[in-house]
Amino acid sequence: MLIAMTDHSITSVPQERRLVTEIPGPLSLELQARRTAAVSSAVGGTLAAYITAAGGGILVDVDGNHLIDLGAGIAVVNVGNSAPRVVDAVSEQVAAFTHTCFMVTPYEGYVAVCEELNRLTPGNYAKKSALFNSGAEAVENAIKIARAHTGRQMVVVFEHAYHGRTNLTMAMTAKNMPYKNSFGPFAPEIYRLPMSYPFHDGGRKGPEVALDVISRIDKELGAQNVAAIVIEPIQGEGGFIVPAPGFLGALREFATDNGIVFVADEIQTGFCRTGDWFACDDEGIVPDLMTTAKGIAGGLPLAAVTGRADIMDSAHVGGLGGTYGGNPLACAAALAAIETMTELDLTAAARRIESIMRTRLEAIAAATGVIGDIRGRGAMMAAEIVKPNSSTADPDLTSRVAKACHAQGVVVLTAGTYGNVIRLLPPLVIGDDLLNEGLDVLEAAFIAELAL
């Protein structure tokens, strides 16, 4: 039976938290033992509750526990798990054909996804897209395209950035542990410059920090050698760092003036997550290229590079591709996910979620004195956790609070260079009551861990 959850979505999974065992329960622990024996220990893990079903804001585990999902598989299931339209579209596609390789014999779904991306992304110029499997692969391809277009090699990235785990994107990612340690040598010609981080740079104005970056590019690199500036408009893994207003715009302008390709990495921020289709929309930033993935296809693996047609066409014919990029199942899912986002007005949902999360986080901050900064946009909000009334990171308390939430059946994620950020990324179809219940658990976890 289908249960109408809110006006926004339909799922057969009851939308309530229900704990019937400890978490993880006995059946999850059995699976965890098999995992320990069979899966490389290098693959990380957050919460060993093994999932059998999910929908709306709920994950159901093998022991029958119903967990509240405030992570959305790291900002992927924006439309919810097994969103009805996605299920229908993928089922139809899997019965029709599963794979041809778009480079061998093409199909409409790939073209239609590119049309949608060209339509939805910012910029009134002629656009084209190319499809890939993962965010990291999209970022790699954006660099290939920018280098082919400019004939230059240098790539500018930022402190706290995350762009992936492949060789090139490891070099672009800022944080050593766990992403890079012992995995070098890294790709050359990647240059890391300061990020506007209002909580830690004394609230310096965006254009002022951008001037530092620009001066470093001029003095240390030479703008004429730079192929691309790559930036997350709100940093994801870095801890939802929102640059001060004007930072992105000043860099965008500098890139234009110097023939540098400005690449917005919207892999975590895209597809209604921040209350707009893309985070760039908030300040009216128009990138030359945008990388997308995660939320694009309701949980199926798909990623894209979209941007100015002349730039997208600058690599030689055959220069871009891959066996599975734009797989027919992922394309069917993406078209259905985009329809769902439009039909359910998920940008508005993200804004409503922001107002709930912001109010609740502010109350926790006032009650505890250990939340130094509340930031983010839309359904992408974070709390930076500090020693009482200071700006000194408290990663230990952060991980204890996250674990306490997990034990109570609420999936929250941590982030940040200093490991002291709790980030909230619910599916955009979560109901208000469920979201509030998740935040009740978060609040109680703070109070218990601080023994207030």
Residues that bind ligand PLZ (CB under 6 A): 74, 134-136, 139, 162-165, 232, 236-237, 265, 267-268, 293
Output DSSP code: residue 243: P
Are the C-beta atoms of 67 and 83 separated by less than 8 Å?
A: no
Smallest distance from ligand PLZ to CB 208, Å: 25
For the chain, how many residues are written?
A: 452
Whichever of 25 and 233 has its CB closer to ligand PLZ, that residue is 233
Residue 100 beta carbon to ligand PLZ: minimum distance, rounded to whole angstroms: 23
Q: Cβ 185 to ligand PLZ, closest distance in Å?
A: 20
Separation CA 258–CA 421 (nearest Å)? 36
Q: How far apart are CA 360 and CA 353, in angstroms?
A: 11
CB of 301 to ligand PLZ, least distance (A): 8
* 278 versus 446: smaller Cβ distance to ligand PLZ: 278
Identify which of residues 9 and 235 has a Cβ nearer to ligand PLZ in the complex: 235
Between 156 and 293, name the residue whose CB sits nearer to ligand PLZ: 293
Q: How far is the CB of 76 from ligand PLZ (least distance, A)?
A: 9
| 393 DSSP β-pair partners | 386
Strand, coil or helix: 255: helix
Eight-class DSSP state of 392: -
> Please, which residue, 29 or 48, has the CB nearer to ligand PLZ?
48
Alpha helices (H) along 372-431: 395-407
Closest CB to ligand PLZ among 279 and 386? 279
52 exposed, middle or buried (CB, 10 Å; 0-12, 13-18, 19+)? exposed
CA distance 297 to 340: 11
Q: For CA atoms 203, 204, 205, 207, give the dihedral sign.
A: negative
Query: What values do phi and psi take at 264, rounded to 5?
Result: -95, 120
Which CB, 266 or 288, lies closer to ligand PLZ?
266
For residues 70 and 293, which CB has a smaller minimum distance to ligand PLZ in the complex? Answer: 293
CA-to-CA dists, residue 78 to 103, 118, 235, 344, 442, angstroms? 29, 20, 18, 11, 21
Stated as kind and residue range, the H or E segment containing 87 is: helix 84-96
Contact indicator for 401, 370 with CB cutoff of 8 Å: no
Residues 6+ apart with CB under 8 A from 184: none
Q: Which segments within 194-276 are labelled E, that is strand?
A: 226-231, 261-265
Q: Whose Cβ is closer to ligand PLZ: residue 416's or residue 431's?
A: 416
List strands edge to edge, sheet with 66-69. Answer: 51-55, 58-61, 66-69, 410-411
Least Å from the CB of residue 365 to ligand PLZ? 25
Our CB check for ligand PLZ shows the closer of 110 and 162 to be 162
Report, in Å, the least distance between residue 64 CB and ligand PLZ: 28
Cβ nearer to ligand PLZ, comparing 272 with 344: 272
Closer CB to ligand PLZ, 55 or 270, in the complex: 270
Least distance in angstroms from the C-beta of 234 to ligand PLZ: 9
Question: For residues 100 and 89, what is the distance between their CA atoms, to the nearest angstrom?
Answer: 18
Half-sphere exposure of 293 (CA within 13 A, CB side): 24
Q: Report the residue closest to ligand PLZ, judged by CB.
A: 135
Provide the minimum distance between the beta carbon of 74 and ligand PLZ in the complex, in angstroms, as a whole number. 5
Cβ at position 343, least distance to ligand PLZ in Å: 26
Q: Are 364 and 381 in contact (CB under 8 A)?
A: no
- Alpha-carbon gap, residue 378 to 290, rounded angstroms: 20
Q: Shortest gap between Cβ of 123 and ligand PLZ (angstroms)?
A: 19
CB of 293 to ligand PLZ, least distance (A): 5
- Unique residue bearing structure tokens 């860099």: 251
SS3 label, residue 155: strand
Rounded Cα gap, residues 169 and 172, in angstroms: 5
